[in-house]
A and B are shown apart, each in its own frame.
Chain A
């Protein structure tokens, strides 16, 4: 731009030559791409030893391409706007509840699937507890969530030996 201005401000004797130069060069414009390419992407560590799960390794724009959604319900479908806000809010609540109830045992994100009025909560837990305690937590989660949300909740969990079994990539 400054170059352009300087060309315009040339003395009278050189004006003709400057305009010729301007015409020959032309002006190139392009729209500004204001896209956020850093959200949801984990920075790599110095030693490249930060373990990531498959879910974390896939960047947000890959949802629906290399990784699937974490919430499966009909209000996510195209054109279905009914109750989508309420469903999203409920999902948020369930995730917070799981984070608190299964504190430190969650080895993955919580997947919430809905079928009619049933909410299916599935996730992967680390095998830190014995089976009895796991069964207690499952029952507790189901009972509490169905009391709060007033509909049947199913917990379908799987366990891994340790969290690092979930590692997909080191960055």
Chain B
């Protein structure tokens, strides 16, 4: 066993010697034969120096040579990723969690003595900071940039049309409101199926409709009409393109308008019993009012009788304001229902119609 150990040890030493000889053959310039090198015993001459890459010359960061009164818009003209070398601001970004458990001073100062590590408790600066490059910045939208944009756009601007100063005036002259959306995405295709939807809004009061036409219009559109605001809303999305939906909407609107003005033959057969709501002009109340006003007219011939002025002034008494207001009050009482407000209104209108002021 002992001899076997010895042999194996000798062979190991030989191997290591051969290896050393081969390595040192390069450095031994003076001898024809390679030198026997015993590790730790003889000097092997100059060790091979590790090649170090020379530092590449770098232009100093631009922020160092910036004058204080420079024009920032020339430095940062358009939207761009944050560049630490061009922004003369002491910016830091990053969350630092100070943990003293793993703090090891020797490690940091041996390996990274020039680097601020998290253990220092300072958020990373702008140099080599990826977080600052990720987030969108507004360095291209400073007040000076906006001023330049405005100045450049000014020549393309036109005067605001006269007579459209307020929203009310705009609504009066352009009663049809068309709402559609464009979807801007940064993907491969610009098309978006949601962009085809068009919404057309119009207030029925801006359409030239009489009571019959309005009634018919509301029946035709169904729940697209909002009775509280008097607004019609058409949601159009059946065609594949926005233009097609818009054109269809405008066609639909004109068709509805024309259709509502038509009076079919069977519509004249409608009696009071067929009415969905109380109409004063079709009821007994109108006849009674007419009779009463006639009686008042006759009574006015007697100078001792006092009658309301409107009876004498106009020939067609039913068209006068007090009678029309009375009619509205009666209709309100029937259609909306009895409450304190409508009863009070009815009372006032009756007094105004029958009693001399």
Contact = CB atoms under 8 A, between A and B. Distances in A.
Interface of A: 44, 47-49, 51, 53-55, 57-58, 62, 65-70, 72-75, 80, 82-84, 86-87, 107-109, 111, 113-118, 120, 122, 124, 127-130, 156, 158, 160-161, 164-171
Given A68-B131, A165-B127, A165-B128, A83 B117 contact: no
A84 B188 CA distance: 10
Contacts of A55: 130
Contacts of B114: 165
Contact of A83 (B115, B136, B184, B187): B187
B58 A156 contact: no
Contact of A158 (B56, B119, B128, B188): B128
Q: Is the interface of A mostly helix, strand, loop or mixed?
A: mixed
B94 A168 contact: yes
Contacts of A70: 134
Given A168-B94, A170-B112, 5 more contacts: A75-B186, A83-B185, A158-B85, A165-B128, A169-B117
Given A49-B107, A170-B107, A54 B112 contact: no
B271 interface: no
B302 interface: no
Given A73-B187, A122-B81, A167-B112, A53 B130 contact: yes
Contact of B81 (A69, A156, A165): A156
B189 interface: yes
B84 interface: yes
A26 to B, nearest CB: 38
Interface string B73-94: 0000001110111000000001
Interface residues of B, number: 39
Contact of B189 (A83, A130, A171): A83
Nearest to B103: A48
A74 B186 contact: yes
A-B interface, 4 closest residue pairs, ranked by CB to CB distance from nearest: A83-B187, A114-B186, A66-B95, A169-B118
Given A48-B102, A160-B127, A72 B134 contact: yes
Given A48-B107, A54-B130, A171-B102, A75 B187 contact: yes
**Which secondary structure dominates chain B's binding surface?**
loop
B233 interface: no
Contacts, number: 120
A99 B317 CA distance: 93
B179 interface: no
B76 to A, nearest CB: 13
- Interface-centre pick from A57, A118, A128 (highest chain B CB count, 10 A): A57
A130 B131 contact: no
Interface string B110-129: 01101101110000100111
Nearest to B58: A127
Contacts of A124: 128, 130, 133
Interface string B124-156: 100111110111100000000000000000000
A166 B186 contact: no
B104 interface: yes
A68 B94 CA distance: 10
Contacts of A49: 107, 111
6 contacts: A84-B187, A87-B187, A111-B133, A130-B56, A165-B127, A170-B107
A127 B56 contact: yes
